[in-house]
């Protein structure tokens, strides 16, 4: 009797999320994706074969308001706002990612991530809150920890995310790092055998050609002390056609390769994205997801739960939820730590441990990642909590700050 009562209690508890999930699945069935895709192909005078080509996708990124307005019926004032923002920040959207927009307003989680918003002209925040410029000992390396380092190999992306932490590097033109910087980076790694884990990022390293990626991986694998090689990419999210058979052969050649991607909303998990992730898995890539907590996109308990559950079906382990960084021009995305802790707390018990990523706060000035836990709310004092970095440096953060002017 008692066990049945408990079973009924748990069923009742799951009901609201189940209804949310069913409603979401019905929306997917009614998606405008096919119509959007056809409209984009028409305006760009392209074929289905073009659509499946990542080189066509990247060569035909939408970068101007005129083309965007031909494809989307922009709301009054949007075109003018986008033009104003583009004078300060470059923007670029892959045709594929643009096709995922369902509603042409800033409530759409896809549109909000890819189309400039006039709120980006707010001067709140810093250009380099992670202090990466001061943690660059050689070449294109960023180093904040004893045993691992980052190499930024390009500023090019399939899409310039509006919340990007490195928007200061986007500039006016795409580029890959000069060989001189790459060689300096390798020399630094050879000279520091304590570094065993290297992350290749950018920009998006998969925006480079297969031969370049193969060369980078080959040279890193030749360093005796480098045990782990990682790639940071949004390709499965913003341009899944990049995951070609030839790229998969490169990944397989150097496997295991740890690939961290960034799905921020269930709307990004399309059949194409899922197939790209599963193909990477089969080729020896180990996939993790680093969601960024973003106001108006995923600051909702059911959205995060559904996202993480669907990622597991794609062979992607939810790895991190990053608290948003205080990057200039991103105030409208900022969420309070208090809310983030509540959202993460909702995951415990309501879904499996596999679907619960670590909630990470990046300490200012490049002091590193700090793992947050809902229990920390019990120890807040006057809306603040005290945290220790990995080096036992104490920092104080306001948990109620949410970017509100």
The residues near 29 (Cβ < 8 Å, ≥ 6 apart) are: none
pLDDT (tens place) for every residue of the chain, 405 residues total: 899 999 999 999 999 999 999 999 988 877 888 999 999 999 999 999 999 999 999 999 999 999 999 999 999 999 999 999 999 999 999 999 999 999 999 999 999 999 999 999 999 999 988 888 889 999 999 999 999 999 999 999 999 999 999 888 887 788 899 999 999 999 999 999 999 999 999 999 999 999 999 999 999 999 999 999 999 999 999 999 999 999 999 999 999 999 999 999 999 999 999 999 999 999 999 999 999 999 999 999 999 999 999 999 999 999 999 999 999 999 999 999 999 999 999 999 999 999 999 999 999 888 999 999 999 998 899 999 999 999 999 999 999 999 998
Q: How many domains does the chain have?
A: 2
**Residues 56, 50 contacting (CB under 8 angstroms):** yes
Same domain, 84 and 223: no
How is residue 325 annotated by DSSP? P
Choose among 341, 318, 317, 332: nearest CA to 397: 341
Same domain, 222 and 83: no
Quickly list H helices, 62-119: 65-71, 78-86, 95-98, 109-114
Sign of CA dihedral 151, 153, 155, 156: negative
pLDDT at 173: 84
Q: Report how far apart, in Å, the C-alpha atoms of 243 and of each of 113, 160, 238, 273, 280 are.
A: 22, 19, 11, 9, 8
Same domain, 115 and 231: no
Containing structural domain, residue 91:
33-121
Same domain, 175 and 246: yes
User: Of 326, 358, 391, which residue sits at a domain end?
Assistant: 326
pLDDT at 92: 96
How is residue 30 annotated by DSSP? T
Same domain, 295 and 190: yes
pLDDT at 332: 97
């Amino acid at each position: 009797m008692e066990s049945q009562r408990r079973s009924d209690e748990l069923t009742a508890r799951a009901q609201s999320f189940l209804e949310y999930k069913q409603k979401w699945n019905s929306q997917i069935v009614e998606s405008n994706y096919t119509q959007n895709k056809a409209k984009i192909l028409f305006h760009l005078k392209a074929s289905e074969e073009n659509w499946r080509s990542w080189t066509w996708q990247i060569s035909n990124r939408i970068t101007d308001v005129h083309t965007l307005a031909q494809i989307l019926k922009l709301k009054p004032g949007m075109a003018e706002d986008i033009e104003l923002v583009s004078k300060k920040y470059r923007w670029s959207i892959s045709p594929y990612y643009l096709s995922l927009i369902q509603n042409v307003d800033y409530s759409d989680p896809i549109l909000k991530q890819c189309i400039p918003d006039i709120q980006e002209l707010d001067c709140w925040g810093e250009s380099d809150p992670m202090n990466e410029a001061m943690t660059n000992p050689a070449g294109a390396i960023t180093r904040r920890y004893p045993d691992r380092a980052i190499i930024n190999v390009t500023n090019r992306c399939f899409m310039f995310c509006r919340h990007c932490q490195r928007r200061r590097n986007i500039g006016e033109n795409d580029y890959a790092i000069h060989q001189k910087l790459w060689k300096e980076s390798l020399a630094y790694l050879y000279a520091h055998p304590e570094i065993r884990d290297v992350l290749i990022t950018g920009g998006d390293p998969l925006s480079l050609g297969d031969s370049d990626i193969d060369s980078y991986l080959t040279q890193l694998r030749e360093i005796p002390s480098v045990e782990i090689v990682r790639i940071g990419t949004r390709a499965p999210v913003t341009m899944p056609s990049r995951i070609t058979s030839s790229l998969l052969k490169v990944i397989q050649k150097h496997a295991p390769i740890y690939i961290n991607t960034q799905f921020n909303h269930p709307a990004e998990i399309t059949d194409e994205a899922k197939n790209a992730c599963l193909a990477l898995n089969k080729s020896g890539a180990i996939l993790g997801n680093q969601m960024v907590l973003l106001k108006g996109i995923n600051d909702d308990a059911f959205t995060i739960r559904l996202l993480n559950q669907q990622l597991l079906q794609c062979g992607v382990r939810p790895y991190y939820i990053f608290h948003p960084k205080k990057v200039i021009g991103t105030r409208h995305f900022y969420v309070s730590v208090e809310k983030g802790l509540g959202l993460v707390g909702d995951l415990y018990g309501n879904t499996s441990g596999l679907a619960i990523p670590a909630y990470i706060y990046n300490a200012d000035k490049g002091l590193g990642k700090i793992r947050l836990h809902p229990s920390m709310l019990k120890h807040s004092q006057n809306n603040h909590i005290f945290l220790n970095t990995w080096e036992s440096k104490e920092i104080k953060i306001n948990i109620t700050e949410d970017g509100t002017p």
